Structure 1
Amino acid sequence: MGLLKEFKEFAVKGNVVDLAVAVIIGGAFGKIVSSFVNDIIMPPLGVLLGGVDFKDLSLTIRDAYTTDAGEQMAAVVLSYGNFIQNVVDFLIIAFVIFMAIKGMNTMKKKKEEAPAAPPAPPKSEVLLEEIRDLLKNK
């Protein structure tokens, strides 16, 4: 029973919930970036490179063939076009995360650089100032 209680406390803590939310948002963000790369960046890049569709870029190692038993064997293909698209996805995601962290660090640095209130004078100094003011008034 103690193990179940410990797990419940662990799962309900803010860190685990925050991590779960981050994973869900990260997955959705990944889909957006993939769509951005596949639908916005790669088509014009393909046109600039002579009408190349990166999804079609591949290297066939062995063509499809039929075995002696009549079984169809699929071609062995290296789809390096998909790899290029995934690299572009990664670079965009890494850049966005870099910019977000850089922005957070800048905000944090500005907050740390904000001037702190001057420290309160010691009680003895305050008392001496009060005595001085009283003497001036007489």
Structure 2
Amino acid sequence: MTDNKAIESTKGFFGEFKAFISKGNVMDMAVGIIIGGAFTSIVQSLVKDIISPLLGLIGGMNFDQFSLKFAGIKLAYGKFLTATINFLLMAFVLFLIVKAFNKASSIVKKDEAEEEAAETKTCPFCKSEINIEATRCPMCTSELAK
């Protein structure tokens, strides 16, 4: 009997896992992680191949080459600077994307709210919401002024 319970609990566990992994938000998250990885490569290339050499013209050398030798070890702080610039650029681009998305979303919501508001009015007698073109309230049957 304990073997049957173990089999049922495994089916239940894997069934729950299958339901969890099949949910849309998990799939969206997976796609986001994959796209984020690809985006990271693009930003790293931007920093390494374009921005660092341009900044190197100002400072006279590429950040990746900056290092210190200390007690027999080499501290490559230039690579850390490049990684920091990479992070800041990625955060800035992500900020711009989220800001644009939020602005577009608020514009759509505002347009929908204006459109919805234009389709209805409130009956001055019973305070129910009615069609804006109605001449008589369907709830209290009062005649409405145009």
TM norm structure 2: 0.73
1:128 aligns with 2:143: yes
Structure 1 moving runs of 4+ over 6 Å? none
| Identity %, equivalent residues | 39
Q: 2:47 aligns with which of 21, 37, 55?
A: 37
Q: In the comparison of the two structures, how many residue pairs are matched?
A: 117
Counterpart in the other structure of 2:95: 98
| 1:35-79 deviation line (CA, Å, top 9, x unaligned) | 1110011112111112x121111111123xxxxxxxxxxxx1211
Distance 1:124 1:28 in 2: 58
Q: 1:53 aligns with which of 32, 41, 62?
A: 62
Secondary structure class of the residue paired with 2:119:
coil
Distance 1:27 1:9 in 2: 26
Distance 1:124 1:9 in 2: 46
Compute the displacement of 1:125 (Å): 7.2
Any unmatched runs of 5+ in structure 1? Answer: 64-75, 130-138
Which is higher, the Rg of structure 1 or of structure 2? 1
Secondary structure class of the residue paired with 1:123:
coil
TM norm structure 1: 0.77
Any unmatched runs of 5+ in structure 2? Answer: 1-10, 121-130
